[in-house]
Amino acid sequence: MPPAPLAVPSRVCATLVGLLSLAALVLQYMLILQLTRDNVGVVLGTVRFFSYFTILSNIAVSLVAFTAAAGRTGFLARARVRGAVALYIGVTGSIYFFVLRHLWQPQGAQWWADTGLHYAVPLAYWAWWLACVPHGTLRWRDVAGWLLFPLGYVAWVFLRGAWVGEYPYPFIDVVQLGWARVGVNALGVMGVFVALGWVVVGLDRVLGRRRSPL
């Protein structure tokens, strides 16, 4: 049975989450094109844009949020997909806060994009997911399926890095750190995915027993 459309209050909140993520994505894309169009060009600049997990997780937020806002059913309205996106955007915010935020100090428009992608959108999506969607259907085994996307992402990062010699994040920069150190770092990040995935499923199961959604 396909999931039922959400109630109006939840759809309004989903609209706000979708608009927030879309605005941050558009701003960041414009900033990357400004930075890259005079050296690597628009095409490779666009590839660089889509090579950040931050961008991919925010795109996932937009897709799920606008699907909910439109009252549509189907793949993007499934509880497992909403839970997966909670995991991905949660890892985005967590890794940035605990690992990356100390490495640079963005200014001006970049600060707005940075804050939106790494703080505002993760918090907004999690607030919507916790308060406004049905719960109680996720299973512990869902975490294993959710790991397929970050594993595929890591494979893409290493393939692209071998081609162009650059990596989106310093803790997986093979050129600077070497394969041994990067391997340990990658395992650590995957551990974060697993741990937070368990949190997502645990919260879903607890919330499913306590209340009904909006």
Q: Is the pLDDT of residue 1 over 70?
A: no
- pLDDT tens string 94-147: 999 999 999 989 999 999 999 999 999 999 999 999 999 999 999 999 999 999
Q: Is this prediction's pTM over 0.75?
A: yes
The whole-angstrom separation of Cα 205 and Cα 140 is 10
Provide the pLDDT for residue 40: 79
Residue 153 has pLDDT above 80, yes or no: yes
Predicted confidence (pLDDT) per residue in 172-206, tens digit:
999 999 999 999 999 999 999 999 999 999 999 99
Residue 57 is inside which H or E element, if any? helix 53-69
SS3 string, 70-138, reads CCCCCHHHCHHHHHHHHHHHHHHHHHHHHHHHHHCCCCHHHHHHHHHHHHHHHHHHHHHHHHHCCCCCC
pLDDT at 2: 63
pLDDT at 211 over 80: no
- Mean pLDDT computed over every residue of the chain: 94
**Which pLDDT belongs to residue 171?**
95
What pLDDT, on the 0 to 100 scale, is given for residue 11?
96
Secondary structure letter of residue 145 according to DSSP: H
- With a cut of 80, say whether residue 3 has pLDDT above it: no
Q: What is the pLDDT confidence band of residue 19, given thresholds at 50, 70 and 90?
A: very high
How far apart, in Å, are the Cα atoms of 200 and each of 35, 84, 104, 197?
Answer: 36, 8, 30, 5
